[in-house]
């Protein structure tokens, strides 16, 4: 990588615009970065690093809190750094601005935040082509082009010669601290702490496992005591069965084999107890079952004897009630027969009562039609010339023939008169209505003519309002276009706001994905570095005795390299890491696409007229909307007005037609009313001659209908009376025949034989219950069990006494008590045996856990002791951090020897040593091999010039190692700081020749110094001038 141009604006101590042409400095090869202390020499390096990576080494060292906007610059001037460089054969230009606060008249605080920006371009065919403007994308491209991250770049570009100079003269502790600063070994210190923490954790687990094993031994002792206690509670004959299975003595806690034997003995002893008690319990159960069987059989026989005596006594009682039973049976039979005859008696009485009732009804109807009654006189008036038919109703004779038909015919005539009378009334009412309607129509016609005058006036008013609204809506198109534009602006502004929010979220998601990708990339780089570091061990693993080394060709291999445990990087591991990196890259691409879409949405919203001031846009939209609403109201009113106008015209026409129609209808109603009145008078005169003397047709009809009802009822009553007399005679004949076949002489004897229903039910129930009980007793006495009880001998009966049964019960209780006791003991012993077996199975697990904890504790403690240099196996007493620092120092020293040999004309080379000096730490030593004397000596013996050479060689070597490990491009523009003031003239000349030699390698060396001697030695200078208004840069090419 080579710098071409640097431009700084309002950055750090530089208030204005500063431009540095590095091509002019590159031509010189070596140039001096000169300036007073505090003028801003380091800020030049910060600006380069900021432009490439977004932060400088000074900013990073101070936690990123250093203000990058120049305090000397005008508040309106924004900070900016531009760097043009070449890397990998491609020419790049990066322009970056940090976040800063600009003055604002609108903000309440008076300031507004400006976001950081970056733009990366590439020179392609003579034209600058934009490659990226997002910080993450630009960071990736620069990292890919340069091949180094910010920390690596600062180590390579700004050679730490001064720190290595202090290292050469420092003590053991200071030397380690300097190397940790140079190499960055925090991760290995963390590994040491983690190993120590894990070792402590393993020791804690070991103590816990030991406690578990000790608790197992104590549990064994408790189980042994419980088994002995259970054995002591058993009968003596059972104890003898298990006496040959003693529990083993307590083993020594350290002898795990004896402990397991103790568990086996306890399990065996408890098993023998369970077997013995189980057998004894079975025997006791058998004896208890035999005793229970005997006792149950005796109790059964004794119960049979008692039951037989009870049944015999009950049979005697039942046989003593035979006479009562026969009398009750006779009463029940007579009651049943009387119940059957009582129905016939009841039917005769009911038929006689019905005949009497019907005869009274018929006579009552005949009386109502008598000549001296109102109904009889009205009936004769209805019948007129046929009234003689009513004379045949005297006595019990049936109604005369033709009476009912004549009455019905008279009713039809009356009904016709009613209809004619109703028609006359309706015509009179219609005539009255027509007269009234004619008057009403004449009034309505007059009112309609009044409404017609009012409607003509309203029509004129509506026409005038229609003209006013038409003028108010002439600008409809313009108002609606303004409202639509305002709505579009509001929607675009809201879309812009949502798009900005989405863009912010997409930026955060993209940053998280990029962080994951970087982590995956660092993991791949770390694995590749470890695999590269293990390359020698991999080659060594393939060597055999006498086999030539593929590197040096030697057939003897006294100290082949080896891979530390857990540090072997396989191809599969590396492939998985690379696959994870690809997945992370895909995620970054997806988030990048989402961010692009969000940004396009923001741009599209702005193109559609979006305004960041959403409130103002909404105010304008509300005004346009109000105008459009007023327009809509006017249009709606105009439409209503047009409709009202049409309705008014239609109403005017309707009123004119209505006035004409009402006048004609009034005249028509008057004519019709007069005609109806004349017809009603003629019909009323004709109807009066057909009413047979009744005042009205309704009275005529009511009397005719009454006569029809009376004659119909009389016919029906006479028929029912004749039928009832016939049925009464039949019922009497049936009763006479039933009495002749029964023991009863008349109905009174039948009634005397009837009993109260409850008494009859009681008599019947008592007879049935007695018969059932008699059958049951006789059946039970005839069973086999009762016959067997009757055949018992006196000797057998003697065994069934109360004393004999009590002795059997006592024998049974004793057997059951022994059985229950042994059952309880057996349950407890089985539970104890299961508990012991479960605990015995857990013993190997506890011992296995103890062994695993012990092995893990020993392994981790050994690793932690080796890593922290407290183990006797760590012969050099080097911590893991010191070992890593020693390895890196050895690598850097090997590369530095090449530079130092060239600088010292082959005299000096650097040799790494593990030896300690003065009680310091081993592995951090460097010695100088002086070829002139053939003697190795410590670096503290170097003169000032020799120390400068050596430290410069180490710094160059560190840059080479860092660049090689990162796989980056060559850094052709380097800066060397510190140390020149301590050199004499001859040594300074040698130093300058050395730097000039680096220039011949194609590198450009910038010497950072304010020493006046350097100004005379180096003609090309980049000068930093400090003033009260800020610093300025300039290039000089002369003394």
Write the DSSP assignment of 602-631 as a string of letters: HHHHHHTT--S-HHHHHHHHHHHHHHHHHH
Please check whether residue 611 is in contact with residue 526, taking contact to mean a CB–CB distance below 8 angstroms.
no
Residue 556: pLDDT above 70? no
Q: Over range 621-644, report the average pLDDT.
A: 80
d(CA 871, CA 692): 154
Q: Over range 749-755, report the average pLDDT.
A: 76
Residue 276: pLDDT above 50? yes
Q: Over range 413-431, report the average pLDDT.
A: 79
How far is residue 144 from each of residues 55, 122, 148, 522, 527, measured CA to CA in Å? 18, 14, 8, 13, 19
Hey, how many other C-beta atoms are within 10 angstroms of the C-beta on 918? 6
Please check whether residue 430 is in contact with residue 679, taking contact to mean a CB–CB distance below 8 angstroms.
no
Residue 62: pLDDT above 50? no
Query: Which residue, 887, 868, 195, 923, is CA-closest to 565?
Result: 195
| Lowest-confidence segment of 591-595, 922-926, 964-968 by average pLDDT | 964-968
Q: State the first-to-last Cα distance of the chain, in angstroms, to the nearest integer.
A: 29
pLDDT band at 63 (very low <50, low <70, confident <90, very high): very low
**Comparing 85 with 850, which gets the higher pLDDT?**
85
User: What is the structure's pLDDT at 160?
Assistant: 64
d(CA 417, CA 704): 12
Residue 61: pLDDT above 50? no
Relative to beta strand 973-977, strand 1004-1008 is parallel
| Alpha helices (H) in 29-65, listed in sequence order | 41-53, 57-61
pLDDT, tens digit, for every residue of 196-245?
888 888 888 888 887 877 777 777 777 777 777 777 766 666 666 665 54
**Comparing 98 with 831, which gets the higher pLDDT?**
98
**Comparing 234 with 131, which gets the higher pLDDT?**
131
**Comparing 676 with 894, which gets the higher pLDDT?**
894
Please check whether residue 56 is in contact with residue 50, taking contact to mean a CB–CB distance below 8 angstroms.
yes
User: What is the structure's pLDDT at 253?
Assistant: 47
* Sign (positive or negative) of CA dihedral 885, 891, 894, 898: negative
Q: Which residues of 318-354 are buried (b: 16+ CB within 10 A; e: fewer)?
A: eeeeeeeeeebeeebebbebbeebeebbebbeebeeb
User: What is the structure's pLDDT at 652?
Assistant: 80
Q: Over range 844-871, report the average pLDDT.
A: 80
Please check whether residue 1031 is in contact with residue 64, taking contact to mean a CB–CB distance below 8 angstroms.
no
Q: Which residues of 127-151 are buried (b: 16+ CB within 10 A; e: fewer)?
A: eeeebbebbbbbbbbbbebbbbbbe
Q: Over range 394-422, report the average pLDDT.
A: 74
pLDDT, tens digit, for every residue of 836-845?
777 777 777 7
Residue 121: pLDDT above 90? yes
User: What is the structure's pLDDT at 250?
Assistant: 46
Helices (H) and strands (E) in the chain, counts: 27, 17
Residue 487: pLDDT above 50? yes
pLDDT, tens digit, for every residue of 75-116?
888 899 999 999 888 999 999 999 888 887 666 677 888 888
Residues 6+ apart with CB under 8 A from 1029: 15, 72
Relative to beta strand 30-35, strand 1021-1027 is parallel
Instruction: Give me the chain's average pLDDT, please.
Output: 77
Continuous segment of H or E residues that includes residue 114: strand 111-114
- Percentage of the chain modeled with pLDDT above 70: 81
Residue 5: pLDDT above 90? yes
What phi, psi does 925 have (nearest 5°)? Answer: -100, 145
Half-sphere CA count of 229, side-chain side, radius 13 A: 9
User: What is the structure's pLDDT at 51?
Assistant: 93
Query: Which residue, 23, 68, 53, is CA-closest to 157?
Result: 53
pTM of the model: 0.42
Burial class (CB in 10 A: 0-12, 13-18, 19+), 749: middle
Write the DSSP assignment of 916-981 as a string of letters: -STT--TT-EEEEEETTTTEEEEGGG--HHHHHHHHHHHHHHHHHHHHHHHT-----EEEEES-GG
Continuous segment of H or E residues that includes residue 1036: strand 1030-1036
Residue 979: pLDDT above 70? no
Query: What Rg do the C-alpha atoms of the chain give, in angstroms?
Result: 67
User: What is the structure's pLDDT at 440?
Assistant: 84
Residue 173: pLDDT above 80? no
User: What is the structure's pLDDT at 254?
Assistant: 46
Query: Which residue, 321, 293, 324, 318, is CA-closest to 780?
Result: 318
Q: Over range 850-878, report the average pLDDT.
A: 78
Q: Over range 586-598, report the average pLDDT.
A: 84
User: What is the structure's pLDDT at 94?
Assistant: 96
| Lowest-confidence segment of 255-259, 357-361, 412-416, 693-697 by average pLDDT | 255-259
Residue 564: pLDDT above 60? no
Residue 761: pLDDT above 90? no
pLDDT, tens digit, for every residue of 890-939?
888 888 898 888 878 888 898 888 766 555 566 677 888 988 888 888 88
* Sign (positive or negative) of CA dihedral 456, 461, 467, 470: negative
User: What is the structure's pLDDT at 860?
Assistant: 82
Continuous segment of H or E residues that includes residue 409: helix 403-472
Q: Over range 832-860, report the average pLDDT.
A: 78
Per residue, the 3-state secondary structure of 430-499, as one string, reads HHHHHHHHHHHHHHHHHHHHHHHHHHHHHHHHHHHHHHHHHHHCCCHHHHHHHHHHHHHHHHHHHHHHHH
Q: Over range 996-1010, report the average pLDDT.
A: 75
Residue 251: pLDDT above 50? no
User: What is the structure's pLDDT at 7?
Assistant: 95
**Distance from the Cα of residue 577 to its chain's centroid:** 34
- Percent helix, strand, coil in the chain (nearest 5)? 70, 10, 20
């Amino acid at each position: 990588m080579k710098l071409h141009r640097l431009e700084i604006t309002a950055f750090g101590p530089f208030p204005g615009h500063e431009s540095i042409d590095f091509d002019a400095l590159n031509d010189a090869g070596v140039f001096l970065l000169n300036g007073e202390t505090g003028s801003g020499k380091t800020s030049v390096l910060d600006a380069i690093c900021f432009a490439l990576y977004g932060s400088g080494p000074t900013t990073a060292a101070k936690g990123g809190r250093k203000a990058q906007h120049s305090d000397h610059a005008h508040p309106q001037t924004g900070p900016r750094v531009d760097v043009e460089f070449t890397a990998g054969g491609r020419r790049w230009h990066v322009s970056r601005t940090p976040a800063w606060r600009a003055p604002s008249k609108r903000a309440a605080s008076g300031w507004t935040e400006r976001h950081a920006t970056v733009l990366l371009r590439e020179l392609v065919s003579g034209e600058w082509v934009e490659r990226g403007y997002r910080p993450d994308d630009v960071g990736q491209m620069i990292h890919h082009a340069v091949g180094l991250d910010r920390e690596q770049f600062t180590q390579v570009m700004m050679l730490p010669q001064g720190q290595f100079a202090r290292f050469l003269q420092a003590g053991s502790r200071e030397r380690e601290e300097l190397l940790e600063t140079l190499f960055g070994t925090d991760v290995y210190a963390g590994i040491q702490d983690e190993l120590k923490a894990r070792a402590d954790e393993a020791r804690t687990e070991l103590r816990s496992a030991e406690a578990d094993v000790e608790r197992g031994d104590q549990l064994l002792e408790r189980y042994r005591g419980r088994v002995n206690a259970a054995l002591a509670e058993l009968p003596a004959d059972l104890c003898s069965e298990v006496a040959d299975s003693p529990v083993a003595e307590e083993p020594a806690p350290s002898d795990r084999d004896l402990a397991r034997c103790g568990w086996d003995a306890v399990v065996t002893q408890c098993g023998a107890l369970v077997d013995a008690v189980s057998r004894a319990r079975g025997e006791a159960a058998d004896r208890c079952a035999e005793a229970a069987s005997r006792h149950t059989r005796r109790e059964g026989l004794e119960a049979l004897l008692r039951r037989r005596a009870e049944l015999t006594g009950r049979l005697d009682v039942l046989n003593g009630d035979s006479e009562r039973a026969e009398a009750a049976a006779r009463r029940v039979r007579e009651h049943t027969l009387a119940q059957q005859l009582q129905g016939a008696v009841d039917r005769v009485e009911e038929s006689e009562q019905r005949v009497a009732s019907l005869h009274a009804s018929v006579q009552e109807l005949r009386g109502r039609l008598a000549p001296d009654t109102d109904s009889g006189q009205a009936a004769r008036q209805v019948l007129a010339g046929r009234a003689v038919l009513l004379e045949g109703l005297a006595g019990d004779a049936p109604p005369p023939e033709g009476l009912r038909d004549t009455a019905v015919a008279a009713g039809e005539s009356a009904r016709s008169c009613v209809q004619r009378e109703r028609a006359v009334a309706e015509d009179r009412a219609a005539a009255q209505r027509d007269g009234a309607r004619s008057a009403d129509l004449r009034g309505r016609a007059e009112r309609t003519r009044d409404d017609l005058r009012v409607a003509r006036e309203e029509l004129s008013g509506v026409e005038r309002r229609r003209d006013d609204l038409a003028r108010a809506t002439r600008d409809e198109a313009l108002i609606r276009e303004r409202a639509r534009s305002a709505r579009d602006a509001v929607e675009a502004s809201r879309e812009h706001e949502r798009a900005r929010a989405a863009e912010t979220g997409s930026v955060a998601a993209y940053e998280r994905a990029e962080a994951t990708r970087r982590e995956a990339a660092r993991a791949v780089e770390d694995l590749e570095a470890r695999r590269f570091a293990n390359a020698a061990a991999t080659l060594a693993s393939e060597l055999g005795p006498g086999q030539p080394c593929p590197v040096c060709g030697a057939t003897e291999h006294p100290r082949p390299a080896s891979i530390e445990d857990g540090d072997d990087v396989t191809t599969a591991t590396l492939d998985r890491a690379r696959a994870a990196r690809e997945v992370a890259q895909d995620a970054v691409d997806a988030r990048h696409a989402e961010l692009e879409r969000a940004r396009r949405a923001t741009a599209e919203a702005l193109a559609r007229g979006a305004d960041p001031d959403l409130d103002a846009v909404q105010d304008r939209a509300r005004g346009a909307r109000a105008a459009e609403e007023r327009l809509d109201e006017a249009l709606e009113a105009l439409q209503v007005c047009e409709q009202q106008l049409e309705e008014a015209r239609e109403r005017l026409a309707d009123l004119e037609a209505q006035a004409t129609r009402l006048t004609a209808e009034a005249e028509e109603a008057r004519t019709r009313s007069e005609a109806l009145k004349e017809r009603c008078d003629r019909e009323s005169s004709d109807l009066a001659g057909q009413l047979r003397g009744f005042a009205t047709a309704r009275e005529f009809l009511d009397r005719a209908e009454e006569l029809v009802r009376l004659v119909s009822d009389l016919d029906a009553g006479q028929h029912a009376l004749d039928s009832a007399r016939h049925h009464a005679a039949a019922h009497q004949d049936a009763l006479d025949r039933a009495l002749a076949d029964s023991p009863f002489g008349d109905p009174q004897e039948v009634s005397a034989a009837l009993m109260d229903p409850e008494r009859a039910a009681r008599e019947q129930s008592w007879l049935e219950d007695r018969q059932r009980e008699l059958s049951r007793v006789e059946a039970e006495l005839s069973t086999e069990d009762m016959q067997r009880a009757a055949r018992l001998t006196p000797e057998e009966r003697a065994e069934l006494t109360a004393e004999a049964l009590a002795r059997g019960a006592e024998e049974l209780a004793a057997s059951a008590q022994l059985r229950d006791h042994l059952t309880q003991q057996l349950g407890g012993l089985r539970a104890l045996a299961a508990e012991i077996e479960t605990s015995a199975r857990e013993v190997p697990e506890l011992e296995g856990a103890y062994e695993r904890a012990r092995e893990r504790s020993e392994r981790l403690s050994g690793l932690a002791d080796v890593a922290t240099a407290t183990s006797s196996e760590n012969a050099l007493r080097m911590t893991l951090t010191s070992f890593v620092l020693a390895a890196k120092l050895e690598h850097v020293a090997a590369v530095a020897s090449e530079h130092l040999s060239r600088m010292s004309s082959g005299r000096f080379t650097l040799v790494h040593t593990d030896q300690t000096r003065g009680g310091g730490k081993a592995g951090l030593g460097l010695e100088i091999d002086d070829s002139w004397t053939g003697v190795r000596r410590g670096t503290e013996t170097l003169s000032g010039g020799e120390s400068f050479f050596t430290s410069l060689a180490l710094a160059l070597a560190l840059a080479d190692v860092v660049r090689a490990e990162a796989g980056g491009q060559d850094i052709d523009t380097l800066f060397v700081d510190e140390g020149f003031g301590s050199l004499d003239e001859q040594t300074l000349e040698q130093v300058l020749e050395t730097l000039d030699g680096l220039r011949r390698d194609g590198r450009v060396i910038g010497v950072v110094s304010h020493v006046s001697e350097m100004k005379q030695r180096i003609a090309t200078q980049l000068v930093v001038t400090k003033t009260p208004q800020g610093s300025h840069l300039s290039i000089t090419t002369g003394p």
